[in-house]
Structure 1
Amino acid sequence: MAVDVQAPPDKEVDTPVPPRRRRNLLSRIWRIYLVRRLVYAVFVTWLVMTGTFFMVRAMPGDPVEVLAGRLSQQGINLEQARQQAKQSLAYDPDAPILQQYWEYLTNLLRGDFGMTISQRGTTVVDHVMEYLPWTLFSVGAGMVIAIVVGMGLGMVMAYRRNGWFDHLLSNIASTLSAIPNYLGAMALILIGSAWLGLFDFWSMRGRLSEGVEPGFDAVFFGDALYHAILPIVTYAFTITGGWMLVMKASTTEVLSEDYVTVANARGLKGRRVGLAYVGRNSVLPLVPQVALALGTLVGGAIIVEQILSYPGVGQLFINAITKRDYPVIQAVVLILTVAVVFSNLVVDMLNSWLDPRIRTGDAEEAGA
């Protein structure tokens, strides 16, 4: 007689998660706004990084030929110079391109950007960090000045709209917003130094004056500001106009809202209405402009720093292209991409916090 054998009641039996439940879990995770934006940011960064890797290797000339040319000038046979150049590289230039790409990705995930080609024995991180702080300082200072001045003047223009003051500043802002930053840099040198003699451009080149050493003292900071003042003025000068126009439009729209009319009818002081009702709501549409302005300044810094002879990341990037220093080119492009992409991510998160309808997908309905 057959006897049914059953598992003991106290013993748990592992049951696989149904595929439908897994799909529902992934769907719920994907609905999270932060997750979607993070995936998008990582994808864009990977796409730019991969495109840069293959494009720099499609450029005419290669590091081996550049290094071999330098060695041959020292009296070394050209073939021997090529062999020495290959041995001095931190990667195998004869390896298949996909193998080089895989090694680049695996090293990058470990935080290893490689070694520079133009300066033997120097890591890419150390080399880039010699230039990056100076660009961050000049771009950051110029952007802060442009935002503060542009938003302040834009709000005044909105309050005095259709008057002579508004027309004057609107024309000035439209002109400034149409000037590329590299043209602004050239105009600054031509008009300020060559024509008017307001400053000595030749003494303001570089990072620091001769004999000044980096340190936490007034001499260092004062001299660093003296040499960075031209790029700071260039960045602030060329984007202030855009901030003025955007702030004026945003403030004008808010001034026509019913809650502002009610606040004025209740007899609230003008300063309180301007700050608590108008100013706060006018700034909200301007938040995404921060990331756009940052991308414009960082991209334009490559040319501006060359024109003004300011040794920042832009000048490093141009030198790396000239010397076919692939690791440095890839690192600079990656840093600039991460700066722009993740600044957009931060702005998106801040915007979704200020307006929760964005992360719930109701932003379009709210604007209708």
Structure 2
Amino acid sequence: MAIPAQAPPAEEVVADPVPPPDRRRSILARIWGVYAIRRIVYALSVVWLVTTGTFFMIRAMPGDPVEVLAGKLSMSGLTMDVARVRAEQALAWDPNANIFVQYFEYLGNLLRGDFGMVIGLHNTSVLDHIMKYLPWTLFSVGLGVVVAILLGMGVGMIMAYYRNGLFDHIMSAVASTLSAIPNYLGAMALILIGSTWLGLFDFWDMRGRISIGVEPGFTGEFIGDALYHAILPLITYAFTITGGWMLVMKASTTEVLGEDYVTVARARGLKGRRIGMSYVGRNSILPLIPQVALAIGTLVGGAVIVEKILFYPGIGELLIGSITTRDYPVIQGVVLILTCAVIFTNLLVDLLNSWIDPRIRKEGAST
């Protein structure tokens, strides 16, 4: 009797807990293919590069915090050697340590949210010190952006409705001229023409953030006085960006006016005002909403010179004063905040645009 042949035992398949290199690369490729992740990595890389560049460049400037602080202490009668020792002891870091040791110590503190301590102010953190100035910059910049957007969008829509007419030609020339003027030149022109030549306002009386004797609080006196002192930077910011919003709104409205649903609405006999408010205006403004954050971030970053010219103590005034006294922690903190304001508002605009228009994500994935 023949014994049937037995099938060979099946080989045991042992799962490999570690994915092969090709699989790991494919996982990383899929992760990197996400548009938002790539944009966030790019933004963080730029912030790191600017932070690193600022750290080393300010230390390459002539003078250092020890010399500046020792010079102030020596005016009280101390010898220069004693003043230098006390100045070194007043710093929150070792100025004699290797610069790369200082750099990595700074990065480590920064990752923990520690911006350092202000030189010359006892137990005052850099972040708390900056927050005394930053809200004033945001206040003036924010009001300027609101005025520019409302004015620019309104005029731009009228330009589109009457395109190729006299009003369109005049306002297009005005808008092109305004958009080409840097904000610091606008500030100087405002002082020269408005105060010196025409005498429309007293520039020296409008300096500062609030008048002497006015107590901060949610009162009509404080709000009115703060608006009075913020008028000049507000006009400067609005004056220099209104032209750009006029041109952008004109282009967006012109494009919407050529859409089929506007033609159909006209064919149905709808009134021009209803078409303008319900169809044209709303659809023209929608693509411009993400650019609001970009405008605010750009103006905050460019407020340094304007605030110095107008004697408005905001974040720009703080930065200039810190450079003069070689206050490294404050300089680094202000530059970091201004950089983040510009970079992350750009990031926000990119992410919003990619969410509104998925074609951006697809085009980014192919590059």
Q: Note whether the superposition's TM-score is higher than 0.5.
A: yes
Shift of 1:341: 0.7
Are the aligned partners of 1:139 and 1:298 in contact in 2 as well (CA < 8 Å)? yes
Shift of 1:161: 0.9
Q: Number of aligned residue pairs: give it.
A: 355
Question: Deviation per CA, 1:135-185, whole angstroms, max 9, x where unpaired?
Answer: 010011101111111111111101101111112211221221122111111
Q: Which amino acid aligns with 2:232?
A: L
CA distance in 2, matches of 1:319, 1:53: 17
Match of 2:40 in 1: 38
TM-score normalised over the length of structure 2: 0.90
Are the aligned partners of 1:357 and 1:363 in contact in 2 as well (CA < 8 Å)? no
TM alignment of 1:67-82, pairs within 5 A: 67-82=69-84
Match of 2:164 in 1: 162
Q: Is structure 2 residue 272 aligned with structure 1 residue 290?
A: no
Match of 1:100 in 2: 102
Are the aligned partners of 1:288 and 1:344 in contact in 2 as well (CA < 8 Å)? no
CA distance in 2, matches of 1:224, 1:119: 26
- Larger mean Cα displacement after TM superposition, 254-263 or 55-64: 254-263
Are the aligned partners of 2:136 and 2:314 in contact in 1 as well (CA < 8 Å)? yes
Q: Which amino acid aligns with 2:347?
A: L
TM-score normalised over the length of structure 1: 0.90
Shift of 1:119: 2.2
Task: Flag structure 1 segments of 5+ consecutive residues without an equivalent.
Answer: 1-8
CA distance in 1, matches of 2:123, 2:114: 14
CA distance in 2, matches of 1:46, 1:363: 24
Match of 2:6 in 1: none
CA distance in 1, matches of 2:259, 2:232: 41
TM alignment of 1:171-250, pairs within 5 A: 171-250=173-252
Match of 1:6 in 2: none
- Give the secondary structure class of the aligned counterpart of 1:120: coil
Shift of 1:291: 4.9
- Larger mean Cα displacement after TM superposition, 317-326 or 66-75: 66-75
CA distance in 1, matches of 2:150, 2:355: 22
CA distance in 2, matches of 1:155, 1:363: 35
Match of 2:258 in 1: 256
Are the aligned partners of 1:154 and 1:243 in contact in 2 as well (CA < 8 Å)? yes
Match of 1:342 in 2: 344
Percent of aligned positions with the same letter in both sequences?
A: 72
Are the aligned partners of 1:207 and 1:311 in contact in 2 as well (CA < 8 Å)? yes
Question: Deviation per CA, 1:76-111, whole angstroms, max 9, x where unpaired?
Answer: 111111111111100001111110011000100111
Are the aligned partners of 2:294 and 2:349 in contact in 1 as well (CA < 8 Å)? no
- Give the secondary structure class of the aligned counterpart of 1:161: coil
Question: CA separation of 1:316/1:129 partners in 2, compared to 1, >3 Å: closer, same or farther?
Answer: same
Question: Deviation per CA, 1:120-143, whole angstroms, max 9, x where unpaired?
Answer: 321101111110000010011101
TM alignment of 1:54-73, pairs within 5 A: 54-73=56-75
CA distance in 2, matches of 1:105, 1:33: 27
CA distance in 2, matches of 1:196, 1:312: 27
Q: Is structure 2 residue 304 aligned with structure 1 residue 302?
A: yes
Are the aligned partners of 1:41 and 1:345 in contact in 2 as well (CA < 8 Å)? yes
Shift of 1:284: 5.2
CA distance in 1, matches of 2:312, 2:38: 39
CA distance in 1, matches of 2:361, 2:283: 19
Q: Which amino acid aligns with 2:174?
A: I
Are the aligned partners of 1:287 and 1:351 in contact in 2 as well (CA < 8 Å)? no
Match of 2:114 in 1: 112
Cα RMSD (Å): 2.2
